[in-house]
Amino acid sequence: MKKLTMEEWEKKYIAGNVGRFDQKNIMFARPDWDEELKARLDDWFMGAKVGYDQLGWSIEERALSTAQVPLRGLMGLASHRKPNPSRQTKAFMKAMADLKPQMPGGAKKPPEDAKIDASDPQRTSSILKKVATYYGADLVGICRLDRRWVYSDSYDYNPYLAGTTEKPIGLSTPQEIPEEFQYAIVMAFEMDYDLLQYVGSAVYGAATGFGYSRMAITNSYLSEYITNIGFKVINCTTNDVALTIPMAMQAGLGDVGRNGLLVTPEFGPRVRLSKVITNLPLEVDSPIEFGVTEFCVACEKCADHCPSDSIISGDRISEPLNASNVGGELKWPVNCETCRMYWSTSKKGGCNLCISSCPYNKVNTWPHKIVRWVAENAPWMDKLLVLGDDMLGYGKPRSTKNFWNEWKPKRR
């Protein structure tokens, strides 16, 4: 694995002017306001349009997938440390303040004016990474806050009601982060490898949902920790405030793949990402390179498996495909419009084939570590590695017919 300087990273990934992105253009928000886009589809609802008698969609399997949603929503509501908290968050925090609840353990908190000696960024960063790991993160990296990735405007919307008529109109608000916030702690959370193999069922959604829940909890705990040691924090729970993937790359967590996702050395694209922005002085990590770009050029499995043809083949480009892409970055942009439309029209209940079909997706055992080493150090072998991946049957969806007998969950 090679560490890159920021200059080397810029040369590899930046091909033009990168303007700040407006959050209202993320694909989950556009059906809320984009009339041209809404005209393409009557119903943008993301839920599965399948019956309870369909394989993989029983009450038990749906319950496994949706059990995390209430707590995740509550943690999102409580995420008030942002430049522009949502209307729901403001109402929630006001209700909590009006109730004046007696918080358990409040007497144990440090005094409000307490502040650590942060003159040694290396020591502080080492402690902070341990804290983030203890609270639930699988990978932790630190980068300077690159303001190109901060949303120019925040967009207040309800993703569960996007595209319907049962919602208030979203609010777009200019967003600025004070200059004192100079660092971002970026975290990755592994999603369960076995569950992600059951594509086209409620089962794989359990892995995704649990990842989001862990993100919300860890972000909340870490934000409270930083506040308790005397520094300020912006909690970016629910993917708010800024673009996460370029920040994760700058923080040394991984590289971007053809599928438009962060590919990590440990888990491939099988991760969820979150970040916390702070004014606490920290030591930054270096971007890394481990053969992903070259392998993705040779592979194209995610593009071949994508049921909506939303992943492009060929070489990287810097031009956006539509309003939901950022221009100026050299990468494989994903057609978010066709991807999102598939989620709303599929009778299979969504998709994660861009993750489960990726050869980097495997568990971190020694045979797969050897394959990753070969991909990094002998790129001329990439085509053979892809052929071997196909021959061994990796990337094919697994049937849920015997799921409850087959499943052996691991305690975290």
Identify which has the larger pLDDT, 315 or 160. Answer: 315
Check pLDDT > 70 for residue 166. Answer: no
Calculate the average pLDDT of the chain: 91
Q: What is the pLDDT of residue 137?
A: 98
The answer to whether position 357 is within a domain reads: yes
Contacts (Cβ under 8 Å, ≥6 apart) of 206? 64, 65, 67, 68, 192, 195
Check pLDDT > 60 for residue 106. Answer: no
Confidence of residue 346 (pLDDT cuts 50, 70, 90): confident
Total count of domains within the chain: 1
| 65/87 Cα distance (integer angstroms) | 27
The answer to whether position 235 is within a domain reads: yes
Check pLDDT > 70 for residue 164. Answer: no
Instruction: For residue 283, give the nearest of 155, 72, 120 by alpha carbon.
Output: 120
The answer to whether position 98 is within a domain reads: no
Check pLDDT > 80 for residue 135. Answer: yes
242 phi and psi angles, rounded to 5 deg: -155, 165
pLDDT digits (tens, 9 = 90+) for 240-277: 999 999 999 999 999 999 999 999 999 999 999 999 99
Amino acid 377 reads N
| 315/127 Cα distance (integer angstroms) | 41
Q: Most confidently modeled of 72-76, 96-100, 120-124, 346-350? A: 120-124
Check pLDDT > 90 for residue 111. Answer: no
Rounded to 10 deg, the angle between the 121-134 and 202-228 helix axes is 140
Token pair listed for 30: 């556009």
pLDDT digits (tens, 9 = 90+) for 282-305: 999 999 999 999 999 999 999 999
DSSP assignment letter at 379:
G
pTM for this entry: 0.93
pLDDT digits (tens, 9 = 90+) for 351-389: 899 999 999 999 988 889 899 999 999 999 999 999 999
| 30/159 Cα distance (integer angstroms) | 10
Rg of the chain over Cα atoms, rounded to whole angstroms, equals 21
**Cβ-contact 71, 155 below 8 angstroms:** no
| 72/175 Cα distance (integer angstroms) | 24
Identify which has the larger pLDDT, 159 or 86. Answer: 86
H or E stretch including 262? strand 262-263
pLDDT digits (tens, 9 = 90+) for 182-209: 999 999 999 999 999 998 889 998 999 9
Number of H helices and E strands in the chain, helices first, is 15, 10
The answer to whether position 100 is within a domain reads: no
pLDDT digits (tens, 9 = 90+) for 4-38: 999 999 999 999 999 999 999 999 899 888 989 98
**Cβ-contact 284, 9 below 8 angstroms:** no
Q: What is the pLDDT of residue 317?
A: 96
3-state class (DSSP) for residue 75: helix
Check pLDDT > 60 for residue 316. Answer: yes
Amino acid 264 reads T
| 267/36 Cα distance (integer angstroms) | 38
Burial of 251 from C-beta contacts in 10 A (0-12 / 13-18 / 19+) = buried
The answer to whether position 376 is within a domain reads: yes
Residue 243's domain comprises: 2-84+108-406
pLDDT above 70: percentage of residues in the chain: 94
The answer to whether position 96 is within a domain reads: no
